[in-house]
A and B are shown apart, each in its own frame.
Chain A
Amino acid sequence: MYQLLKINQTVRAEASKTACRVTRFLGGGGQGEVYAADWDGSAVALKWYFPQSATEEQRLLLEDLIHRSAPDARFLWPIELASSSDVPGFGYVMRLREQRFKGIVALMKRQVEVSFRTLVTACFELADSYYQLHANGLCYRDISFGNVFFDPETGEVLICDNDNVAVNRQAGGGVLGTPKFMAPEIVRGEAAPSRDTDLYSLAALLFYMLIVHHPLEGRRESAIKCFDLPAMTKIYGTDPLFIFDPDDESNRPDPVFHANALAFWPIYPKLIRELFTRSFTEGLRNSQGRVRETEWRSAMIQLRDRILYCTECGAENFFDQSAEAARKCWSCEKPIRLPYRLQIGAKTVVMLNHDTRLHHHHLDESRRYDFGRPAAEVVRHPQDTRVWGLKNLTDAKWSSTTADGAVSAVEPGRSVRLARGTRINFGTSQVEIFAPED
């Protein structure tokens, strides 16, 4: 927390031999400080390491990362190493984070209020980002809410502090992770960060984002007066127990201190509760039993597709067919009235709200996670606004079959009426419409 570089000081980007002038101090972390800088006319971020972190190992790691290039544009990846004859150590240049991206801390402090739709989109984006990273054989090693940013309007994410990224199972010393996000085996000193421990940290981060609470902080935590390192080691390392463990109720949330956990948990459908339960029961004990990013990715999209609006107060709720599902709106507590919905295959349900759009992701198995141009949208009938339909936004003709067997063609730009039992063939898949009362 002390400044390593001075404003207007110039350091040298090593490969391009260009000057990089410090313009502003942005913040400090555990390993160094980050500055805004002017690099040959472009605004960039410049990280500089504390002397004890400016190791040869770190330098080699950075060289390797720079050589590899980013898994995708969501990573603020090291672009070039920087050094100076006047300052010991070294740093690196990366893209500057745009102002529209906010920290997860602001989300935790409720300084930024977002819709469930945006939040779930951000969760999907995160799972997808780490999937891309892991698919490249790398591991992040320090997933926490300090190094993730999101756009509260769109749910887009940015991942910073990529200088700890290393090849999985080849990583040497360096970072262990951030307390509360570290896998129990790291807290206990039995393992080093890896792809498997990243999966634990990702689950903790997603839990924080969706529940605004830590998955292991229940009565065991509230019973501790002074929450110091030994206490943290117990809760997160040697004696961890999920607050909603189905087989052990002894660490349930304390209503006084853990109100968020109790408020959010019942709102989410079973498919999400099951993934969190697996993450923090089996996933606590067995690093191979953790939920993969591909599972999170798929679950987050399913979750987003299940959003419906309360007809009384407009609050977003989630559709859940399971027996224990909430039947009342979390906000106004009136009974939930369902809209029409689409059933696609065995698993996917899409609520047909007034603003629902379908994407090729929904209609075409071979285009999973394609959320580019919409393929369909819910519309009102222009003459009779009580009638709702699904408009074909693709270039292909659909065919629809009503419950009593009448078949019609749905040309591009035309709409098919939402009615119980109507089936639509998109050419790439077939779906069925269910009525609210089904």
Chain B
Amino acid sequence: MNMRPGGELAARELHFLWIVDCSGSMGVDGKIEELNNAIDEALPGMREVAADNPNAQLLIRAIRFSNGAQWHVLKPVAIEEFQWEPLSADGVTDLGAALAEVAEQLSIERMPQRALPPVLVLISDGQPTDDYKAGLKKLLGQPWGAKAVRIAIAIGRDADHGPLQEFIGNIEFKPLQANNAERLAQLIKWASTAVVKAASAPSSQVVQAGPVGNVPIPEPPVESGESGVDDVW
């Protein structure tokens, strides 16, 4: 017998989408494997954030783009059950196709009646080969797309920051640069935990002078080189 009536605290769904560049260049130097590994590594932290947060039900999806875009995980999966199937790389960089697909899934009809702002994390190492502006327009034309927290991670020196910055849509937040596997893992972990936390039930708020959008995005982690401290001590 239950000792008290009622059920769990009412929670809203939080839709989290990975938008991943799987163009041929991602296959060079094992970048795609670094990415697969980084996402795998980030999952326990994501589960922990979800477990600590009674206000949100965290659901994951993923889409890949190279020649066109294909859903890697189309049906939203609860983080508790989510497993990452590795991606492989080939073809070109059809970012626009991916954004159009995401726009469709974030339409009012397909989204639940009520939810938290979705979190979209775009990861790319190159320049779009299709009309990404058309895809982005579709995405931002959807109310859920416009309200989404949009984070972009640029892998390697060749990544074109311009389209990524347009995707973010806020000049105050820059694409995050990952030049090595460790930094990529760190950024992916940050996006999938700290950002998710901020979008669901922000932890203690501190006084800050910086910009605040529709979600208070936390500070990204400092790259080890930036702090002036050696990596080994």
A155 to chain B, nearest CB (A): 13
User: Chain B contacts of A175 at CB under 8 A?
Assistant: 204-207
With A113-B2, A264-B5 in contact, is A224–B114 under 8 Å at CB? yes
Q: Are B4 and A164 in contact (CB under 8 A)?
A: no
A317 to chain B, nearest CB (A): 11
User: Looking across the interface, which residue of chain B has its beta carbon closest to that of A266?
Assistant: B5
Of A177-185, A396-404, A420-428, the one touching chain B? A177-185
Q: Are B205 and A182 in contact (CB under 8 A)?
A: yes
B49 to chain A, nearest CB (A): 8
Question: Once the chains are docked, how many angstroms separate the CA of A217 from the CA of B55?
Answer: 12
B116 to chain A, nearest CB (A): 5
User: Looking across the interface, which residue of chain B has its beta carbon closest to that of A186?
Assistant: B205
Q: Are B203 and A29 in contact (CB under 8 A)?
A: yes
User: A348 an interface residue at 8 Å Cβ cutoff?
Assistant: no
User: Chain B contacts of A229 at CB under 8 A?
Assistant: 212-216
Of A15-23, A253-261, A280-288, A409-417, the one touching chain B? A253-261
Q: Are A1 and B7 in contact (CB under 8 A)?
A: no
Q: Are B204 and A226 in contact (CB under 8 A)?
A: no
Q: Are A227 and B7 in contact (CB under 8 A)?
A: no
> Contact check: which of B117, B143, B205, B221 meets A176 at CB < 8 Å?
B205
| Residue among B5, B48, B194 with most chain A CB within 10 A | B5
Q: Are B116 and A213 in contact (CB under 8 A)?
A: no
Q: Provide the A141-178 mask, 1 if CB < 8 A to any CB of B, else 0.
A: 01011100000000000000100100000000111111
> Contact check: which of B113, B203, B214 meets A228 at CB < 8 Å?
B214
User: B18 an interface residue at 8 Å Cβ cutoff?
Assistant: no
Of A38-46, A104-112, A352-360, the one touching chain B? A104-112
Question: Once the chains are docked, how many angstroms separate the CA of A212 from the CA of B214?
Answer: 26
Q: Are B205 and A227 in contact (CB under 8 A)?
A: no
Q: Are B206 and A110 in contact (CB under 8 A)?
A: no
User: A294 an interface residue at 8 Å Cβ cutoff?
Assistant: no
Which A47-63 residues sit within 8 Å CB-CB of chain B?
50-53
Q: Provide the A129-145 mask, 1 if CB < 8 A to any CB of B, else 0.
A: 00000000000001011
User: B186 an interface residue at 8 Å Cβ cutoff?
Assistant: yes
User: Chain A contacts of B205 at CB under 8 A?
Assistant: 30, 175-179, 182
Question: Once the chains are docked, how many angstroms separate the CA of A53 from the CA of B114?
Answer: 34
Q: Are A263 and B5 in contact (CB under 8 A)?
A: yes
User: Chain B contacts of A222 at CB under 8 A?
Assistant: 114
User: Chain B contacts of A144 at CB under 8 A?
Assistant: 204
With A108-B54, A260-B10, A331-B2 in contact, is A178–B189 under 8 Å at CB? no
User: Chain A contacts of B55 at CB under 8 A?
Assistant: 180
With A213-B10, A225-B115, A227-B114 in contact, is A88–B5 under 8 Å at CB? no
Q: Are A226 and B147 in contact (CB under 8 A)?
A: yes
A114 to chain B, nearest CB (A): 7
> Contact check: which of A103, A173, A330 meets B207 at CB < 8 Å?
A173
User: Chain B contacts of A182 at CB under 8 A?
Assistant: 205
Q: Are A227 and B116 in contact (CB under 8 A)?
A: yes
User: Chain A contacts of B143 at CB under 8 A?
Assistant: 225-226
Question: Once the chains are docked, how many angstroms separate the CA of A229 from the CA of B147?
Answer: 10
Of A68-76, A308-316, A335-343, A369-377, the one touching chain B? A308-316
Question: Once the chains are docked, how many angstroms separate the CA of A407 from the CA of B194?
Answer: 70
User: Looking across the interface, which residue of chain A has its beta carbon closest to that of B185?
Assistant: A2
Q: Are B116 and A86 in contact (CB under 8 A)?
A: no
Using a CB–CB cutoff of 8 Å, the interface residues on chain B facing chain A are 1-10, 12, 45, 48-49, 51-55, 113-117, 143-144, 147, 186, 189-190, 193-194, 197, 201-207, 212-216, 218-219, 221-222, 227-229, 233
Using a CB–CB cutoff of 8 Å, the interface residues on chain A facing chain B are 1-2, 27, 29-31, 50-53, 86-88, 103, 105, 108-110, 113-116, 119, 142, 144-146, 161, 164, 173-180, 182, 208, 212-213, 217, 222, 224-230, 257-260, 263-264, 267, 313-316, 330-331
